[in-house]
Amino acid sequence: MGARPGLELDEPVIFERGAAGRNGMCIPDAGLKGEPAIPAHLLRTEPAALPEVAEYEVVRHFTRLSRMNYGVDTGFYPLGSCTMKHNPRICEDTAALEGFACIHPMTPSSMAQGALALMWELEQSLKEILGFSAVTLLPAAGAHGELTGLKVMRAALTARGNPRTKVLIPDTAHGTNPATSALTGYTVVKVKSNESGILDPAEVAAVMDGDTAGIMITNPNTLGLFERNIHQVAAIVHEKGGLVYGDGANLNAIMGKYRPACLGIDVMQLNLHKTFSTPHGGGGPGSGPVGVVESLVDFLPVPRVVRVEDGRFELREDFPLSIGRMRSFQGQFGVLVKALTYIRALGADGLARAAEMAVLNANYVRVKLQDKFNLPYPGVCMHEAVFSDRNQIKSEGKVSTMDMAKRLMDHGIHPMTVYFPLIVSGAMMIEPTETENMADLDEFIAVMERIADEAANNPEIVHSAPHLTSVRRPDEVSAARNPVLTWHAGNRQA
């Protein structure tokens, strides 16, 4: 797991390689005579601003970049709330089958029965896992699933006569929840968690009224804690005519152990790319199916996969109360193939066992590190443990969470999620997932203990980390506020 000193080449952008006139390809003469095939007004007046490089320069450039990359296939990846876990290669194999990988999205239903059957079976499996009456596979990611779920809620409330104006959001919710509520036209009302890090029914009752559409609740929440009062919270919301939205991004901790719909949740998105085996770093691919209770089924987006009497499958859009299309075609089909493969491979017992191991691993890390790092919400956690830098930042060396995250990189370990959730100052959110064995966890724990000792006895080595990477400490604030989106010769100097 640990990093070792060695040769790591500095790699400039591809535009800084090569020379004028150099190229890596030969384009044959098209043999056209007379007027060009492309109309004159569409032709460039100047050459495109592309790098002029030989083939070997391109190969070396991207090979070097790939060696600098880090992911779950490289080493331990304790990125909390994102379930960055090993993805079984059997899932990649099935998604690469020609009949799945090469199917055109506009293939008529009569010629896509295998693909539609797979989607229908996945919907049935997710209905069983979640306890809902119906599931749509259309949303392309978790946040897109949130938007779909909130639009379904709004449509249902509108059909009742009043879409209402507010949504309750706990301070332990995922960060996309407030944005999704605002995008759907709702005002966000923040609900404070109690000293144990979970929702207090009395706090919900105090702000829930007849103008509130409902509550968005993440369970387990972003502190890695199970919302033990969710039954009472759901009852309070339902009594006032509201709906309960469940953010299922942390389903990895509870799949196969309980059905969210049984706790009073009306609509819920889950993240196939987190829980059901799809690598998803760097922006995709993702999939955010949404499950709903019976009263919301008619409002789901279209098209929907329907099994007709003779056993065939059809894509239908004749649902008059539907919120309509949420994206083109039929969702992220490759992700759907991997998810069903994963579910079939593990089965009901295997899914429950995976959740148990995810919780066990997180609590193993929690117990082993709680003497070295502050644990703001003590006690049993679920899939992730949230520490803070309180012990280190208040010591003489004043070592921060960012310092320790950078120091982890010197040991070949990807940093955990830092400074989230926002209600924990200097948060360090660690999610080991179920796929890591005890030896890997022990090595990670030993590294964290070593960093804690360095923070106490040799803080400068932590302050100046990382030491073994080609890029040390970029100005992250400036990069976020003033990103360089185009290249020119002065970029490197600037």
Give the per-residue pLDDT at 488: 65
Nearest-angstrom CA–CA distance, 355 and 361: 10
CB within 8 Å of 129: residues ≥ 6 apart: 255, 256, 259, 343, 351
Q: Indicate the domain borders of the chain.
A: 90-344, 348-480
Does domain 348-480 fall under CATH 1.10.10.1100? My reply is no
Q: Taking a C-beta distance cutoff of 8 angstroms, is the pair 359, 254 a contact?
A: no
Give the per-residue pLDDT at 33: 72
Number of Cβ atoms within 10 Å of the Cβ of 416 = 27
Nearest-angstrom CA–CA distance, 494 and 475: 13
**Is the omega angle on the peptide bond into residue 289 within 30 degrees of 0, that is, cis?**
no
485 phi, psi to nearest 5 deg: -100, -10
Give the per-residue pLDDT at 70: 82
Give the per-residue pLDDT at 8: 62
Nearest-angstrom CA–CA distance, 85 and 460: 33
- Checking 343-348 for CB contacts under 8 A at 24+ apart, the result is 343/122, 343/125, 343/129, 343/276, 345/88, 345/90, 345/91, 348/256
Q: Taking a C-beta distance cutoff of 8 angstroms, is the pair 282, 306 a contact?
A: no
Give the per-residue pLDDT at 1: 54
For the chain, the residue count is 494
Cα→Cα distances 186→144, 213, 240, Å: 16, 8, 17
pLDDT lower than 70: segments of the chain:
1-9, 34-36, 280-284, 487-494
- The reported pTM is 0.90
- Token digits for 432? 């080991």
Give the per-residue pLDDT at 181: 96
Q: Taking a C-beta distance cutoff of 8 angstroms, is the pair 193, 170 a contact?
A: yes
Nearest-angstrom CA–CA distance, 474 and 484: 13
CA 460 to chain centre: 34
- Token digits for 381? 């956690």
Does domain 90-344 fall under CATH 3.40.640.10? My reply is yes
Give the per-residue pLDDT at 9: 63
118 burial via Cβ count (<10 Å: 0-12, 13-18, 19+): buried
Do 90-344 and 348-480 show the same overall fold?
Answer: no
Using one digit for the tens of pLDDT, what is the confidence trace for 320-363?
A: 999 999 999 999 999 999 999 999 999 999 999 999 999 999 99
- Cα angle vertex 469, ends 465, 472, to 5°? 50
